[in-house]
A = this chain, B = another copy of it.
């Protein structure tokens, strides 16, 4: 039986803002896929949350993931 956490069933969202939230989630999940220990991730959080260089780099990742989601949703035009 499938036990794996299914967190990305679709790229389709109701609104652009929900698309943005999905992009943030996707970016976080990428980091979790590399650093698999949630305790370590928690301890690392202070490293980047007050480092503007890393906040900007995170926004770059979110922008790329959001572009993909926006394409999938035909930019919520229709």
Contacts and interface: CB of A to CB of B under 8 A. Distances in A.
A75 B6 CA distance: 17
Contacts of A72: 70, 75-77
Contacts of A67: 64-65, 67-68
Pick from A26, A49, A51, A63 the residue with the most CB of B within 10 Å.
Answer: A63
Copies of this chain present in the complex amount to 6
Interface residues on A, range: 35 or more
B16 A24 contact: no
Interface of A: 6-12, 15-17, 20, 24, 26-27, 29-31, 33-35, 40, 44, 47-68, 70-72, 75-77
24 contacts: A7-B17, A9-B17, A11-B70, A11-B75, A11-B76, A24-B33, A24-B34, A26-B66, A34-B59, A44-B52, A51-B52, A52-B54, A54-B56, A57-B57, A57-B60, A58-B59, A60-B60, A60-B61, A63-B65, A64-B64, A66-B68, A67-B68, A71-B71, A71-B75
